[in-house]
Amino acid sequence: MHLKDYTETICYHCQQAVEKALKAYLIYLEIDFKKSHSLEYLLNLIGLKDEFSDEWYEMASKLENYAVEIRYPDVAVFPSDEEIINAIEIAEKFHNLILEKIKT
């Protein structure tokens, strides 16, 4: 087994981590939401009570496709090492931001 065998799985879990963090924040803000994997949709809902800069939307958009691509076996995705590192960094940034917002 090699790390290359798991590249799309790593990116998928980064997308999932951001999705779950945003949903946790929506619950914290008492905002109802529909079942969705769209990070943009979740950020837009949060925008009803809090603001995220365009930078956060741009980071989220980099992860958006990973939620869909892994669910469909016909779609092969092979993220580069740089894309994997970027996905991990984005997930960490969202995680830290949401924790900070909930703690204040």
CATH of the domain at 84: 1.20.120.330
pLDDT value at residue 4? 63
Is 83 strand, coil or helix? helix
pLDDT value at residue 65? 85
Count of structural domains within the chain = 1
What is the average per-residue pLDDT within 50-56?
A: 94
How would residue 35 be classed by pLDDT, with cut points 50, 70 and 90? very high
Residue range(s) defining the domain that contains residue 29: 3-103
* Closest C-alpha among 46, 53, 44 to residue 29: 46
